[in-house]
Amino acid sequence: MKIIAIVVIALVLMIPVSSAFASWHWSSPHKVCGMEVIKKTQECHLDSEPTTPISTSMDPPKMMCSDGFKEIIKKTTNNMKCVKDSSYEKLILRGWGISV
């Protein structure tokens, strides 16, 4: 009898948690449109052309480093950095950056 009471109490306590957990996203004021998150009141236009032009250039942006420094692209952020000549090859060998 105790086991049945424990099971019933556990089920009763789990019902509010499970329904709230399963339906939280339905109450969100946002929705996904392609690769963007928009408000539910906005229309989703996947057929329209993108508003920002996509760069077709594969060349990294040029950066001017002062004397004694070399340009390197940091792998984790893809940002251009200026590093000392003495550190340049060490960073590439360690996998920190990519040569320009």
Cα distances from 2 to residues 6, 12, 60, in angstroms, run 6, 15, 71
* pLDDT value for 22: 47
Domain boundary assignment for the chain:
69-99
Q: Whole-angstrom Cα distance, residue 6 to residue 12?
A: 10
- pLDDT, residue 24, reads 46
| pLDDT, tens only, 51-95 | 555 555 555 556 688 889 999 988 888 888 899 989 999 998 998
pLDDT band, very low/low/confident/very high, at 35 (cuts 50, 70, 90): confident
